[in-house]
Chain A
Amino acid sequence: MTDLRELQHLFRDAVFEETSDGPALQAFSKLINDSAGLSAAGHLRIYRGAILGTLTRALGNIYPVCKRLLGDQFFDGMARIHARNTPSQSADLANYGGEFGDFIASFEPAATLPYLADVARLEWHWHRAFHAADEAAMDLAALNNVPLADTGRIAFRLPASARLLDSNFPVQKIWQVNQDDWQGDQDVNLDEGDASLIIWRKQYGMRIDELDSQESQLLGAIDNGALFNELSQPDMGLELDTLLPRCYQQGWIAGFTLDA
């Protein structure tokens, strides 16, 4: 088995190595034929171009707003660096690209757009929400039937599609004015302030909802696994009587279980 394994690992290394004519390419070239028009290395470079191109296009499809903010050339160059350095570890290409936001945050040439990493995180959550499981509405009757003595053990849960995002920038506004169908003013005042968002899917409708501080605190605590008895502690300062019904109605809380 070793011949085949070695060949495949060398092929992979030759595709992703940083220099265009590095040691893996040279070693791999010895294993393949040249042809009338192309050197052995030229044959490998066809695959290198195709593979990095596929990953770069995949990132462009998941992150269209980032691409628009940076321009095609800058984005593709940045995405290509990410594609070379960050392996895809799933056969399903839809699982690739989740680390792009963190990569952008540390990518020096993009530092002039300090909000870009959060825009990317928003786009990733959108991408995942699109493919996430469908949800039925919250079963309020079942909730009402929980015996009083057990209410402390209620563990609420967010919709399977939902992800929360806190940003120091008005990323929802930035996202919105960079949609193809946006008709209004494209200027965004970055001092407009923080955003607390929930990105999720209501049936087949994609949603980015803004949360006020109470909603954000509640949903954040639920997302971290807090039970009802923790949520209802006075020092949490949550006005649950109005807050919970509002969250059920919006669909931001999709269900519950009783913690053992």
Chain B
Amino acid sequence: MSRFSQATIAGAGIGLRSTHYQDILNDKAAVPWFEVLSENYFGDGGLPLHYLEQVRSDYPVTLHGVGMSLGSTDPLDFSYLARLKQLAEQIEPAWISDHLAWISAGNRYVHDLLPLPYTEEALNHFAERLLQVQDFLGCRLLIENPSSYLSYRKTDMTEWEFLQELVDKTDCDILFDVNNVYVSGTNHGFDPIEYLHALPVGRVKEIHLAGYQKHDNYLFDTHGFRVHPPVWELYRATIEHLGPVPTLIEWDNDIPPFEKLVDEAGMAQKVLDEIA
């Protein structure tokens, strides 16, 4: 179904950030692949696209976005999707991902991934839109579990049941964010291992790792820290259960020097190598 690159994504990659272009291109960084934040390259020209062209000519890349708003009850934004498709044709990612979330209501965007109520209504709505988007883009998408800080009273199923159903209805793949599941599990009191064991093995095509921030009464997903020890532990259990799924280190706030990300990716690679 994929019409994009056949480049192999394997091992522990790093999220591409503009502060690291020079480190990557000058030093020919030994990183197996990079993940590109789609919306950062939606401009018509200029330096970002110029650097991206260079990175993607040396490394396999994936596209990861926050803008599809698949769970929203607003109409699908086909100008957004057309721009995404154009970018995908240009840089040929191995795949495209977005989130199990919504980001707009009444055409007002919040630029934050808001959780859905896990109801039959939301499932059917999300699945129908995901099918439309997959059809439009001509490829299967990876859907990522979000971090969340609230839960709804009215639900028909758990988040993992929702994801299972979604895979059945739409044939999509899953991007399993180990940090997010730890954060949400802590915030809502569910067991991340139960979530992990409910995932359809073989459908999880990518894993995300990042650092959360601890507040008094909850964990917050800042992508601004090293991966915390309990998340490493859960990651190890994830790889033992799912096999050596390609893994990405994400860092978005207080972005550190590139070497620190390489170091972090090295730790993930070590887990992948030990268990493979």
Contact = CB atoms under 8 A, between A and B. Distances in A.
Contacts of A88: 108-111
B122 A46 contact: no
A91 B218 contact: no
B141 to A, nearest CB: 16
Given A87-B107, A93-B111, A37 B46 contact: no
Nearest to A7: B117
A201 B46 CA distance: 8
B222 to A, nearest CB: 9
Contacts of B69: 91
A131 interface: yes
Contacts of B42: 92, 94, 131
B111 A4 contact: no
Contacts, number: 138
Interface residues of B, number: 49
A88 B109 CA distance: 5
A191 interface: no
B108 to A, nearest CB: 4
Chain A, interface residues (CB within 8 Å), range: 35 or more
Contact of A37 (B40, B109, B151, B217): B217
Contact of B43 (A33, A93, A131): A131
Interface string A77-100: 000000000011111111010000
Given A4-B121, A91-B80, A131-B43, A35 B189 contact: yes
A54 B66 CA distance: 14
B105 A4 contact: no
B81 to A, nearest CB: 10
A43 B48 CA distance: 36
B105 A35 contact: no
B119 A204 contact: no
Nearest to A10: B105
Given A47-B114, A131-B48, A91 B67 contact: yes
A163 B42 CA distance: 20
Interface string B61-81: 000001111001100010010
Interface string B96-128: 000000111111111110101101011001000
Nearest to B42: A92
B107 to A, nearest CB: 6
A43 B220 CA distance: 11
Contacts of A16: 108
Interface string A15-38: 110000000000000111101111
A32 B242 CA distance: 33
B43 A38 contact: no
A35 B66 CA distance: 28
Given A33-B152, A54-B111, 20 more contacts: A3-B121, A3-B154, A16-B108, A36-B217, A37-B218, A46-B220, A47-B150, A88-B111, A91-B103, A91-B109, A92-B39, A92-B67, A93-B39, A130-B43, A131-B46, A132-B44, A133-B44, A134-B44, A134-B45, A160-B45
17 contacts: A1-B73, A4-B116, A4-B119, A8-B105, A11-B114, A32-B152, A35-B189, A38-B218, A47-B112, A47-B150, A51-B110, A92-B80, A93-B39, A93-B111, A94-B39, A131-B44, A204-B47
